[in-house]
Amino acid sequence: MDEPTQLKGHKMSRKKKIGFTCVILVIGLVVSTGIILALANRDTTSPLETRNPSGTTGYMLIVYRPGISSFPADVMNKFAEGAISTGWKLDISTVSEISPKDISKYDLIVILSPVYMGAPQAEIATYLSSVDLLQKPVVSILACGSNTGLPAMNKLVAQISAANGTNLVQAAFNINGNRDQVLVEANQLVQIKR
């Protein structure tokens, strides 16, 4: 008489265990997605930084969005190194409300962003909708995680056109590619002369 009751009890506790595990997994997924989205959209406001103030090739503004990883900033720094090696003076701004809105003194604008959900990070669109790029030449750089950065680049190019910028060069760098090679390429991207 006891045996069926024991079997039934055993079956129910297995079901409960599976249910409990599923609940834990869903909570874990929701929490980790929340953390990733919070990190991707965190406030990264910082003061404008000038590098190579004595550069004479031209005056460049880099507006960039740092990523969750160091990769977008690494690409930006390599690009900046290349620009400095060819004599550019640089202003660098992490994209925010205090990024320069009057860009009349610059010869070249660089917009750099990680790709999230097939688009540049949202602050970039907010910045570009608030600035007149005065037909200045614009270099677009994306840090992506796959070889499907094209839709994001198309969006960025359209946002730059809408801001009255002249799209000059576009480059996408994959975080999963050969990191050294990627950084060499970012460094060499600046062959642009004033």
In 3D space, the residue among 146, 162, 48 whose CA is nearest the CA of residue 97 turns out to be 48
Alpha carbon distances (Å) from 37 to 7, 61, 71: 45, 27, 17
Query: Is 67 one of the binding residues for ligand FMN (CB under 6 A)?
Result: yes
DSSP state of 129: T
Beta strand extents in 8-118 (DSSP E only): 49-51, 58-64, 88-94, 108-116
* Residue 137 CA to its chain's centroid (Å): 20
- As measured in angstroms, the least distance from the Cβ of 173 to ligand FMN is 7
Residue 189, phi then psi, degrees to nearest 5: -60, -30
Q: What angle do CA 63, 128, 90 make, to 5 degrees?
A: 25
Does residue 120 touch ligand FMN according to CB under 6 A? no
CB of 86 to ligand FMN, least distance (A): 25
Exactly one of 52, 55, 59, 68 binds ligand FMN (CB under 6 A); that residue is 68
> Taking CB under 6 A as the rule, does residue 150 contact ligand FMN?
no
Min dist. Cβ of residue 149 to ligand FMN (A): 5
Q: Which of residues 166-185 bind ligand FMN (CB under 6 A)?
A: 175
Task: Tell me if 137 contacts ligand FMN by CB under 6 A.
Answer: no
What type of residue sits at position 3?
Answer: E
**100 scored as a contact of ligand FMN (CB under 6 A):** no
Looking at residue 168, the DSSP 8-state letter turns out to be: E
SS3 state of residue 183? helix
* Residue 141 binds to ligand FMN (criterion: CB under 6 A): no
C-beta nearest to ligand FMN: residue: 67
Under the criterion CB under 6 A, does residue 32 sit at the interface with ligand FMN?
no
Residue 46 or residue 50: which is nearer to ligand FMN going by CB?
46
Residues that bind ligand FMN (CB under 6 A): 36, 40, 67-69, 71-72, 114-118, 143-146, 148-149, 175
